[in-house]
Structure 1
Amino acid sequence: MKPQVNTAEPRQPRDPQAPKGRPTPKRNEARGPRRTMASKPMTRKEAVKRQREARRADMARQREALASGDERYLPARDKGPVRRLARDFVDARYSVAEFFLPMAVIILVLSMLPSMQLKNISLLLWLVVILLIVIDSIGISVRLKKKIRERYPDENRRGAIAYALMRTLQMRRMRLPKPQVARGEKP
């Protein structure tokens, strides 16, 4: 005769670390409760739409960071203390390269005038402007390298000098991220 099992007694709860006593759930059944239906796209079009919206939000956040100088949301090329020092170093001083575009317009106008003397002068001005930009860029790179080595000896300095020199070619009003230091201020 078989022993009778009392079904009226409550069963002891099983240890959560050993949940056997039932068949092992399939992977999609086990994952099911963790995923919410709100985050799972219904169609491919909806997934693309969500990605596009997320990208737009990221771009808007980056635009705000470029305008305000918020380090957290800056693009990768502008992040880090070395890049910030390079930006501040360039923004704190005047450079010949930032006046290149206005000077180029003047020189082009001079070269279009009918006088041969003015054309020769404009050619000479091109040479002088380019020479001044090269000399100024060499000076900036030497001083900036020294300052970066002093302040951040262990940081990655790769590309910081080229980043600073490209920034000098932009007019101050057009620079992004916006300048955070005034002219003449120590970075």
Structure 2
Amino acid sequence: MSDNNTPETEIPGVELPGKKGRPTPKRKDQEAARRRPVVADTKADKKAQRERQRVQREKEFQAMRAGDERNMPYEHRGPERRWLRDSVDARTSPGEFLLPLSIVFVIASLMVPAESWFGLGLIVLFYVIVLGVAIDTWLMIRRLKKRFIEKFGVKRIPRGWTFYVIARHLNIRRFRAPKPAIKRGEYPV
């Protein structure tokens, strides 16, 4: 008489339903199979990796200086980014002169006492220039977004485009990377 609670007897050569037909591997064997071989010379591998990265960075830097978009870093590639760069490079803005002016104001404020009327006027003038640059940047962003949507559509706005444009706008034209490809006044169509 067979009871439902008793285990079924195993018959050699016959697989029972629900069984895998082989013994469960030991944990030690499974862990050993997952282990990767240790790299013999990590210093040499790191040195080779650093050299490959240095060569890649040099290649990207030369591409940005020459305007070769195929070898530029990914954040500078594509027709949308090129259009944004050209739109910023076409205009003369007070933002690109902010850094040199701030250096001049710092040096002048060190020479003139802050308690004098001239020192106070110097500080107020600097803040007025910074405020003017901020307003100009805000207006430029609004105009660029409107023109960009007209040209490319809403769905093609690149991620992080606002910071990309602001950073380029506040940089001195000769030090911009990638190098400006158009002259001032040549707005992209």
Aligned length: 147
Aligned to 2:106: 108
- 1:117, 1:106 → 2: CA distance? 18
Aligned to 1:149: 149
Query: Which consecutive residues of structure 2, in runs of 5 or more, have no partner in the other structure?
Result: 1-38
CA distance 1:146–1:61, shift in 2 (3 Å): same
More deviation in 84-93 or 53-62?
53-62
Deviations 1:18-46 (A, max 9, x none): xxxxxxxxxxxxxxxxxxxxxxx984444
**How many angstroms does 1:158 deviate by?**
2.3
Identity of aligned pairs, percent? 37
- 2:66, 2:82 → 1: CA distance? 13
Aligned to 1:94: 92
- 1:53, 1:127 → 2: CA distance? 46
CA distance 1:48–1:93, shift in 2 (3 Å): same
- 1:161, 1:130 → 2: CA distance? 19
Deviations 1:50-78 (A, max 9, x none): 32332122111101111012111111221
Aligned to 1:81: 79
- 2:98, 2:52 → 1: CA distance? 39
Aligned to 2:140: 140
- 1:93, 1:176 → 2: CA distance? 16
Determine if contact 1:107/1:125 at 8 Å carries over to the other structure. Answer: no
- 1:157, 1:144 → 2: CA distance? 13
The 5-angstrom pairing of residues 1-187 of structure 1 reads 43-112=41-110, 113-114=112-113, 116-153=116-153, 154-187=155-188
Helix, strand or coil at the partner of 2:156:
coil
- 1:156, 1:89 → 2: CA distance? 15
Structure 1-normalised TM-score? Answer: 0.71
Helix, strand or coil at the partner of 2:91:
coil
Determine if contact 1:108/1:122 at 8 Å carries over to the other structure. Answer: no
- 1:94, 1:51 → 2: CA distance? 42
Measured on the aligned residues, the alpha-carbon RMSD in Å equals 1.9
- 2:45, 2:109 → 1: CA distance? 56
**How many angstroms does 1:145 deviate by?**
0.2
CA distance 1:105–1:54, shift in 2 (3 Å): closer
Determine if contact 1:61/1:73 at 8 Å carries over to the other structure. Answer: yes
Determine if contact 1:88/1:181 at 8 Å carries over to the other structure. Answer: yes
CA distance 1:136–1:43, shift in 2 (3 Å): same
